[in-house]
Structure 1
Amino acid sequence: MSRPRLRHLALVVEDAAAAAHFYCETLQMEEFHQDPDGSRFVTDGYINLALIQRALDGDVPVGFNHFGFEVPDVASTAERLTGHGVAEPVLRGGDRPFAEYRATDPEGNWFDLSEHGFLPPDRRS
């Protein structure tokens, strides 16, 4: 891989289980991960789609949430980002098998950075 690749999209949904079922049944995606909060992750084998379960008391609206890039080197990518005036990417917490860092563009849109990609470990190339 010589340049970053868009490999991840995330939507906040009212019913993650129903949304995952829809994408699996209609577009032949495959569910590969479920978070304790009920969020589901599906893939077409190249890009994954996070279906983030909206919390009843949450203030995050339903709809588009963030996207993610697989990058060859987070440190050099972070250097290019900060060189363009945005904040340095921060390490994401949790035990997810993907998305090591969170960054923002100049408009404040969130995106993730990952050196090992967004697919399940057994599917990584």
Structure 2
Amino acid sequence: MEPESFFHIALKTDDLATAERFYRERFGGEVIDRGSADEGTGATAVNHVALSVADKLVYIFDEAPYEAAGLVDEVPTGFLHYGFVVPDVDAAHEQLVEEVPFVMAPTTFGDLRITFLTDPAGVRVELIEHL
């Protein structure tokens, strides 16, 4: 399996405004999206901000979307995962499932097909297919 591109990192924080300000002021982050838990359901029922920092995206959540959807147990604040775009999430899952632990089977979220695995150190890696 070979990713097409590195897409983003995701962070969880107890103070969304402070985290956003940090990435804007210290790294020149530009807000490109913002969402409210009141406006979403399931995985989108989280407060979040997405920033463009250098040439990548940084998503900051008050609760991980997969946590809000009940797909995983509560995760601690800090680094959540990083994501790679792949051409076919289901094919990548099938290719890797015997070799690496997956924490979430392939799932469709809006216009994305995603799955999560862990690397040897336990770091979550998201595989993303744009539908």
Q: Same fold (TM over 0.5)?
A: yes
Match of 1:101 in 2: 114
Unmatched tracts of structure 1, length 5 or more = 117-125
- How many Å separate the matches in 2 of 1:10 and 1:92? 18
- Report the counterpart of residue 16 of structure 2 in structure 1: 16
Q: Trace 1:106-125 onto structure 2 (pairs within 5 A).
A: 107=120, 109-116=123-130
Match of 2:2 in 1: 3
* Partner residue in 2 for 1:80: 95
Shift of the 71–20 alpha-carbon distance from structure 1 to 2, 3 Å rule, reads same
1:42 CA drift (Å) = 0.8
In the TM superposition, residue 59 of structure 1 has moved relative to its aligned partner by: 4.4
The runs of 4+ residues in structure 1 deviating greater than 6 Å are none
User: What is the aligned partner in structure 1 of residue 86 from structure 2?
Assistant: 71
| Deviation sequence 1:29-60 (CA, Å, 0-9, x none) | 111112223211111263211111159xx943
Query: Which secondary structure does the structure 1 equivalent of 2:7 belong to?
Result: strand
> What runs of 5+ residues in structure 2 fail to find an aligned partner?
38-46, 65-72
Aligned length: 111
After TM superposition, give the deviation of residue 73 of structure 1 in Å: 2.5
In structure 1, how many angstroms separate the alpha carbons of the residues matched to 2:94 and 2:21? 40
- Asked if 1:47 corresponds to 2:56, the answer is yes
What is the alpha-carbon root mean square deviation over aligned residues? 3.1
Pick the structure with more strand per residue.
2
**What's the CA shift string for 1:82-123, capped at 9, x where partnerless?**
241534732144x4x6x531221265543222233xxxxxxx
Deviation at 1:79, TM superposition (A): 2.2
Q: TM-score, normalised by structure 2?
A: 0.66
Q: Following TM superposition, by how much is the alpha carbon of 1:18 offset from its aligned partner in structure 2, in angstroms?
A: 2.2
